[in-house]
Amino acid sequence: KEKVVITKDQQAFMNVILDAYNRHQIPPDVAKKLLQEQYSAEENFLLLTEMATSQVQVLVEFTKHIPGFLSLDHEDQIALLKGSAVEASFLRSAQVFSSKMPNGHTEVLEERIRKSGISEEFMTPMFNFYKTIGELHMVEEEQALLTAITIMTPDRPYVKDQQAVERLQEPMLDVLRKLCALHHPHEPQYFARLLGRLTELRTLNHYHAEMLTSWRMNDHKFTPLLCEIWDVQ
């Protein structure tokens, strides 16, 4: 059983990503707002678009700190952000959902989300994803790296130089694999389970456009930024 060693360079690389991830978190706590009271579908949809808009802005700031991202072709930078924004927001939602809350609060939050206005058919895949992310008990380094790896996915639509993106994603996968071995020594399959969540994320990505239009209300309004990123309106 070889000893897992994270090199000094990998430690420094990891700190850059973790520091950027921690500095770029959404200010208003959506969970706290949701636990306060039940809102109407219209109010919830507005809350979602506000949260998603600020999350995209935060995601751009975080991405700029991923080593090598700014040296990519500019159009590829946009393609990576556009291609990963929905997945990053579901990953963030999952982390919010599975964050430690006082007893019974997670159940109230789940109830509020179930009644928020999203149509029933998407509840199962969405909560399956949230619960399987929660069961992983990721440390914050793993959360930060998983988000960075999701952004740095070479096969997004319209990416021209996929090799350049692979070269940036590989060192992050190497560090993540070592971190998983270090933080979860008794779960040799943990790294594979973590990457399996990225596959699950892609299916949520696939549902997203349908989910948006299925909210039980008419006249879904979006911000200009979300029109760009979500390909709506």
Ligand X SMILES: O=C(NC1CCCCC1)[C@H](C1CCCCC1)n1c(-c2ccc(-c3nnn[nH]3)cc2)nc2ccccc21
State how far the Cα of 100 lies from the Cα of 206, in Å rounded to an integer: 29
Per-residue contact string for residues 96-115; x = within reach of ligand X by CB under 6 A: xx---------------x--
Q: How far is the CB of 129 from ligand X (least distance, A)?
A: 10
Per-residue contact string for residues 202-231; x = within reach of ligand X by CB under 6 A: ------x--xx-------------------
Q: Are 101 and 30 in contact (CB under 8 A)?
A: no
Class of residue 159 by CB neighbours under 10 A (exposed 0-12, middle 13-18, buried 19+) = buried
Which of 6, 47, 60, 198 binds ligand X (CB under 6 A)? It is: 47
State how far the Cα of 71 lies from the Cα of 98, in Å rounded to an integer: 35
Residues 6+ apart with CB under 8 A from 124: none
Cβ proximity to ligand X: between 67 and 117 the closer is: 117
Determine, following the binding rule CB under 6 A, whether residue 118 of this chain makes contact with ligand X. yes
Determine, following the binding rule CB under 6 A, whether residue 85 of this chain makes contact with ligand X. no
Q: In the chain, where does DSSP find H-type helix?
A: 8-23, 30-36, 41-64, 74-97, 105-114, 123-136, 140-151, 162-183, 190-214, 224-230
Per-residue contact string for residues 54-73; x = within reach of ligand X by CB under 6 A: -x------------------
Contacting positions for ligand X (CB under 6 A) = 26, 30-31, 34, 44, 47-48, 51-52, 55, 89, 92-93, 96-97, 113, 116, 118, 208, 211-212
